[in-house]
Amino acid sequence: MLDTGVAADAVRDSPQRPRPALRAVLVGLVLVVVPLALIVPLLGLGPDGGDSPASAAPASAADPFARLLVALPVVLAACYLAGRLARRAGQPEVIGEIVAGVLLGPSLLGLLWPAGFAWLFPPAVVTAVNTLAQLGLIFFMYLVGTEMNLDSVRRRGLVAATVSQVNLALPALCGIALALGMYPSFGEGVGFVPFGLFLAVAMSVTAFPVLARILADRGLTETPLGALALTCAAIGDVVAWCVLTVVTALARNGDPSAVIVTIALTLAFVAAMVFAVRPLLARLLSGLTPAATLPILLGGVMLSALATNEIGIHPIFGAFLFGVIAPRALPSVTEASHRMQSVTVTLLLPLFFVYTGLHTRFGLIGTDARRWAWCALIVAVAVLSKWGGTAVAARLTGTDWRESLSLGALMNCRGLTELVVLNIGLQLGVISPTVFSMLVIMTLVSTIATGPGLSLVARLRRAPA
Amino acid sequence: MLDTGVAADAVRDSPQRPRPALRAVLVGLVLVVVPLALIVPLLGLGPDGGDSPASAAPASAADPFARLLVALPVVLAACYLAGRLARRAGQPEVIGEIVAGVLLGPSLLGLLWPAGFAWLFPPAVVTAVNTLAQLGLIFFMYLVGTEMNLDSVRRRGLVAATVSQVNLALPALCGIALALGMYPSFGEGVGFVPFGLFLAVAMSVTAFPVLARILADRGLTETPLGALALTCAAIGDVVAWCVLTVVTALARNGDPSAVIVTIALTLAFVAAMVFAVRPLLARLLSGLTPAATLPILLGGVMLSALATNEIGIHPIFGAFLFGVIAPRALPSVTEASHRMQSVTVTLLLPLFFVYTGLHTRFGLIGTDARRWAWCALIVAVAVLSKWGGTAVAARLTGTDWRESLSLGALMNCRGLTELVVLNIGLQLGVISPTVFSMLVIMTLVSTIATGPGLSLVARLRRAPA
């Protein structure tokens, strides 16, 4: 609608320059006045508020939208800077963003500066952040769905299938073993079956998008190793999500017959989407501009998410499925998805990390040495089971040791996908906030260790045999 | 971050086809099961809820996000369809979207189907819609700022200046006259000065973006008439916004010295943005990719909006100013703004129209004939003062009668900008919900009449002199 055509001659930009002396005075005035204008009212809102003078300070202290206008840029800035730091350390930006989001929560900011944390995230802002985070998650899962390449999965055949099954089986079994150990202390309020299955899923997940980014960064995407890793991650994720569907159905319904109904509805929904909605969508969208396509895609994502929510599983499954069936052959769809991606990834995903962070309380683990011991055990089990399981599976199919170890390092990258899984578990009540925090730590450690782990194996490769 | 490179071979799309008989069974099953799966739980949530069976219905009735996933697609669909209808009627889509947004509120849906309206817009959804609408408005004003072409304003010189001043003066004076008449009945809780000034602004505003769209639709953008109209609208809007700043300062502070402080801070802020922030921003953004530019722009828009809010005027001024100073010569900025535009215009602006609609209650005007008389008078005064004032001013500068009348018809397009102004007035308490509703009606009528008015004048042009 803003494509007016007058923007063409907006490119030439010639500001008028007042005389130098006048300009200097203006600049000096501005450098004094404007910071004061910003700081004085903010002090009135600040953590030490109450002593502030009754100035011409506007009613922003009671204005939730103004508080949101403070919180959002802070989140953006923190994630942006952390992303740049991560890049400097040879990691993908998303790792820095995840860490920044978590640290803005009660785990660090809340511990070090509780008043500042409470001021930055009053209840109205938390509500807005949650809404935006959930929306962003849905759009993000749609985008992940659009990038899911099932053809390449089909083509890799036996090797990928074998590796991915073992790649999943070992961490899953270790997860169930962990659950057996943890359930007495941490399993209040939830049945053992969903708890155990959930830990199995949490151990086995690999973050497909983050992995893809790490491979792209290191130029490995087109190598056999990279392609194999992506394929295994894709297969593994699909299986893990299926199991998570069962966990969700169990947790939300409890009654086994209701669970079976939910599974049946899910399968019916998948079939409906693949066989009925997909061709209809392709017909509907063919010939439309990207501008006309975008509202249809947005509406479709939300309705699919609503459908899976109503069926009894999480909204993100519907969003993901819609992404898979969206007619990616149409350039208008690709363009519209691309436009959705910018705002989602830039503004909404950091809010999802903050949303995760707001529910993460390292303080819950506190000073309890037993809990930290469990935490350390979780991390160790997660890393070793993934690394070991993947490496062994790859070796069994004839890949050499070093490639197998590299693959294991890569598959440890749990990143963003794991956080999505963990949030589902927390929302459903399958895991407690304490276990959630421990698993977030595990996610951070295993994701941060991916790049360096890969470099370590590469160095081993260069060492004399 | 999702730019993984593997998407390249995602273009080839070859679904496997199961045997036809099996497919038919699946489709039949799906056509029965899936609608049931969707409808049964929704009935449990529906307006007649309470009688619904205690099925495996999920806890969505208490799940605000699920309700949002219902409301948002409804809004998108209504605005999309209304936009297409408007297009069929020869109007720009945005007019249909505005009407749809208003009608989804208490003015129509709420009147005809109160239970459905309450179900669609529970308090949590209204809160989310408000947040998204305010964010969308801020991003939209930024985008309007990026398209504001001050160079072309400077070049048109005397004609545009004269026309725009008279174009503003007559409606403004009529607005004040209206205020004198309306203040006794409708002016409770606000001083006459802000009330009168506000009505003056409301009468004089022209919707620059909608006007630009109408001109583009009719191929008039490059004609002298079109360029003149846009320039007058631009000048007029800048003046109107300045007056609105004063109104806002008056309404928020009341104390005249505080108002002067606010005006001074505003001028200082404008100077700071133009002389200090603009070159800094250009230096910061040069050489960055669009993906790296977008978070900086988003953060900058929000911080500028926050600054003007803290100064004592509305957030949109800061957002608009940031758009004006953003270095549009940089292709990365243009690209990033373009990406912001898609989601803003597609998802957030319709929510702004709904936000407007949620506060519009034609029922407040009700069956009171006196109020409807005032409403009709407002509409007549608005349309005639704009049309007449513009036509006379254009005629005085030598434009022929028919072009002058066409210009008058065009300048009556108040559209979206007027809704922004009206919402500010309502938020500040300068106008009551009743007056707000009347002015919304005036906006709808004058905007809808723009295209037909232009066609009417065109027909007069073809009639024998």
Q: Which tens digit of pLDDT belongs to each residue from A316-329?
A: 888 988 998 998 88
pLDDT tens for each residue of A214-257:
777 777 777 777 777 777 777 777 777 778 878 887 777 766 77
- Among A192-196, A228-232, A407-411, the range with the most confident prediction by mean pLDDT is A192-196
What's the rounded mean pLDDT across residues B345-360? 86
- pLDDT value for B305: 92
pLDDT tens for each residue of A252-305:
776 677 777 878 888 889 899 989 899 888 888 888 888 888 889 999 999 999
* Torsion angles phi and psi, residue B132, rounded to 5: -65, -35
- pLDDT value for A359: 83
- pLDDT value for A98: 84
Burial class (CB in 10 A: 0-12, 13-18, 19+), B222: exposed
What's the rounded mean pLDDT across residues B217-236? 74
Contact of A358 with A129, CB cutoff 8 Å: yes
Burial class (CB in 10 A: 0-12, 13-18, 19+), B165: middle
Pairwise pLDDT comparison (A401 vs A49), residue with the higher score: A401
Task: Identify which of A4, A59, A302 has the shortest CB distance to residue B69.
Answer: A302
- pLDDT value for A303: 92
Alpha-carbon distance of A159 to A398, in angstroms, equals: 9
Percent of chain B with pLDDT over 70: 81
What's the rounded mean pLDDT across residues B221-233? 74
Pairwise pLDDT comparison (B227 vs B39), residue with the higher score: B227
pLDDT tens for each residue of B123-157:
889 989 989 998 998 898 888 888 776 665 566 66
Neighbours of A449 (CB within 10 A): 17
- pLDDT value for A162: 66
Task: Identify which of B27, B143, B307 has the shortest CB distance to residue A38.
Answer: B307
Q: Rounded to a whole number, what is the distance in Å from the CA of B278 to chain A's nearest CA?
A: 10
Retrieve residue B464's tokens: 């024998």
pLDDT averaged over every residue in chain B = 77
Task: Identify which of B93, B230, B255 has the shortest CB distance to residue A6.
Answer: B230
Band (B53; pLDDT cuts 50, 70, 90):
very low
Encode burial over A140-176: b for 16+ CB neighbours within 10 A, e otherwise: bbbbbbbbbbbebbeebeebbeebbbbbbbbbbebbb
pLDDT tens for each residue of B407-450:
778 777 787 788 888 988 888 888 888 899 889 888 888 888 88
Q: Rounded to a whole number, what is the distance in Å from the CA of B453 to chain A's nearest CA?
A: 21
The residue of chain A nearest to residue B341, with distances taken between CA atoms, is A2
Q: Rounded to a whole number, what is the distance in Å from the CA of B94 to chain A's nearest CA?
A: 8
Task: Identify which of B4, B11, B262 has the shortest CB distance to residue A213.
Answer: B4
- DSSP per-residue string spanning A316-366: HHHHHHHHHHS-TTSHHHHHHHHHHHHHIIIIIHHHHHHHHHHH--HHHHT
- pLDDT value for B298: 92
The residue of chain B nearest to residue A61, with distances taken between CA atoms, is B310
Percent of chain A with pLDDT over 70: 81
- pLDDT value for A155: 63
Q: Taking CB atoms and an 8 Å limit, are A13 and B329 in contact across chains?
A: yes
Q: Which amino acid is at B269?
A: F
**Domains parsed from chain B with CATH numbers:** 123-460 (1.20.1530.20)
Q: Rounded to a whole number, what is the distance in Å from the CA of B367 to chain A's nearest CA?
A: 35
pLDDT tens for each residue of A67-91:
899 999 999 989 888 888 888 887 7
Contact of B320 with B141, CB cutoff 8 Å: yes
Task: Identify which of A149, A278, A294 has the shortest CB distance to residue B6.
Answer: A149
CA dihedral B111, B116, B122, B125 (to 10 degrees): -100
Residue of B65, B67, B69, B217 to mutate, testing the A interface (most A Cβ within 10 Å of its Cβ): B69
- pLDDT value for A50: 34
Contact of A222 with A398, CB cutoff 8 Å: no
- pLDDT value for A156: 62
* Lowest pLDDT segment from A314-328, B24-38, B82-96, B424-438: B24-38
List CB contacts (< 8 A) between B62 and chain A.
Answer: none
Q: Is the pTM of this model over 0.80?
A: no
Alpha-carbon distance of B409 to A189, in angstroms, equals: 68
Q: Rounded to a whole number, what is the distance in Å from the CA of A464 to chain B's nearest CA?
A: 34
CA-to-CA dists, residue A330 to A83, A146, A285, B13, B77, angstroms: 33, 12, 8, 11, 22
Nearest 5°: the CA angle A266, A268, A273 is: 95
* Torsion angles phi and psi, residue A186, rounded to 5: -120, 0
Q: Which amino acid is at A280?
A: L
Q: How many CB pairs under 8 A join A and B?
A: 311
List CB contacts (< 8 A) between B148 and chain A.
Answer: 10
- DSSP per-residue string spanning A137-148: HHHHHHHHHHH-
Retrieve residue A188's tokens: 């209040």
Q: In sequence order, what are the residues at sequence separation of 6 or more whose Cβ sits closer than 8 angstroms to the Cβ of residue B7?
A: A146, A147, A149
Q: Is the model's pLDDT at A65 over the cut of 80?
A: yes
Q: Is the model's pLDDT at A347 over the cut of 90?
A: no
Alpha-carbon distance of A382 to A385, in angstroms, equals: 5
Q: Is the model's pLDDT at A18 over the cut of 50?
A: no
User: Helix, strand or coil for residue B403?
Assistant: helix
Which residue from B153, B240, B154, B166 is spatially nearest to B395, judged by alpha carbons?
B166
Provide the CB-side half-sphere exposure for A38 (13 A, CA). Answer: 16
Alpha-carbon distance of B461 to B465, in angstroms, equals: 8
- pLDDT value for A13: 33
Task: Identify which of B152, B210, B291 has the shortest CB distance to residue A9.
Answer: B152
Band (B103; pLDDT cuts 50, 70, 90):
confident
Burial class (CB in 10 A: 0-12, 13-18, 19+), B217: middle
Q: Rounded to a whole number, what is the distance in Å from the CA of B191 to chain A's nearest CA?
A: 19
Task: Identify which of B56, B72, B80 has the shortest CB distance to residue A302.
Answer: B72
Q: Taking CB atoms and an 8 Å limit, are A60 and B309 in contact across chains?
A: yes
Alpha-carbon distance of B413 to A127, in angstroms, equals: 37
Report helix angle B192-204 to B369-396, nearest 10: 60
Residue of B16, B298, B346 to mutate, testing the A interface (most A Cβ within 10 Å of its Cβ): B346
- DSSP per-residue string spanning A93-110: HHHHHHHHHHHTTTTTHH
- pLDDT value for A305: 92
Q: Rounded to a whole number, what is the distance in Å from the CA of A26 to chain B's nearest CA?
A: 7
The residue of chain A nearest to residue B43, with distances taken between CA atoms, is A310
Contact of B351 with B343, CB cutoff 8 Å: no
What's the rounded mean pLDDT across residues A140-163? 70
Residue of A343, A355, A447 to mutate, testing the B interface (most B Cβ within 10 Å of its Cβ): A343
Looking at the predicted complex, does its ipTM rise above 0.85? no
Burial class (CB in 10 A: 0-12, 13-18, 19+), A85: middle
